[in-house]
Amino acid sequence: MLLVLEDLRRRAPVTFELIAVNIDSGYPGYRGDIIEDFFRNNGFSYRMVPSRHYDIIKEKLRPGSSYCSLCSRLKRGELYEAAQTLGCNKLALGHHSDDFIETLLLNQFFVGSLKSMSASMLADNGIITVIRPLVYLAEEDIAAFSRDAELPVVSCCCPVSGVADMQRKRMKQLLKDLQNDIPHVKNSLLKALSNVHPRHLLDPLLRRDVAGACKSADFLVNHAPLPEPDSHVCQQIES
């Protein structure tokens, strides 16, 4: 993502600055030095942020819960703080199309909600806008690009794989199996996220909002004063 955004920055008709931020969660064996060398050798502005996330997770994690879920929330907080400290108004995250699709399925199968992620969303603090520029890129294409570009690969060194992580792996396998019979299934699921029909869902809040919008539109159509006809247009129609 950093390489793509840097290429865009050089060619874009608007001026913006990129600052790479790496959060070191404190897992034993984590090679943050490799990432820092990559930033430095390629001339990127960057910040390396140390943290005690590993110690906090060990203390707070409930049995059977996922390291990844709690770790990601802690990292997100650090990223928001870093963005504000650095004076940035956008936080770019590297989620790709497979992440969006798998999150959609996870929420439907295990949470009972119809949601995934947003490609552009104002954070709860009302200051930082979270963007996900890789939303339309597949995981396999990103992996192929990384190999071709010989990018360094650094493990987060997470010591366990929790229940939620196994569920995401199940979604990956499910999608892989479905693709054997439905080659376009991923594209269809991704398109569904931008092709929502609230009237055909069961959420009463959505139905109320749609009904209110329809009533407002009906009021405008039936009660708004009609504009004076344009004589030139009338002449064209009559002819």
Q: Give domain limits for the chain.
A: 2-96+116-159, 202-239
CATH 3.30.710.10 fits 2-96+116-159, yes or no: no
Percent pLDDT > 70 in the chain is: 82
Q: For all residues of the chain together, what is the average pLDDT?
A: 86
In this predicted structure, what is the pLDDT of residue 234?
A: 35
Averaged over 176-191, what is the pLDDT? 96
In this predicted structure, what is the pLDDT of residue 218?
A: 55
- 23 with 7: CB under 8 angstroms? no
Q: What tokens does 78 get?
A: 């650090």
In this predicted structure, what is the pLDDT of residue 214?
A: 58
pLDDT in tens, 102-144: 999 999 999 999 999 999 999 988 889 999 999 999 999 999 9
Whether residue 168 is predicted with pLDDT greater than 90 in this model: the reply is no
In this predicted structure, what is the pLDDT of residue 233?
A: 37
Give 215's pLDDT tier (boundaries 50, 70, 90): low
Whether residue 15 is predicted with pLDDT greater than 50 in this model: the reply is yes
In this predicted structure, what is the pLDDT of residue 236?
A: 38
The alpha carbon of residue 168 and the mean position of all alpha carbons in its chain are separated, in whole angstroms, by 16
In this predicted structure, what is the pLDDT of residue 125?
A: 83
pLDDT in tens, 42-87: 999 999 999 999 899 888 877 766 677 788 889 999 999 999 999 9
- 121 with 128: CB under 8 angstroms? no
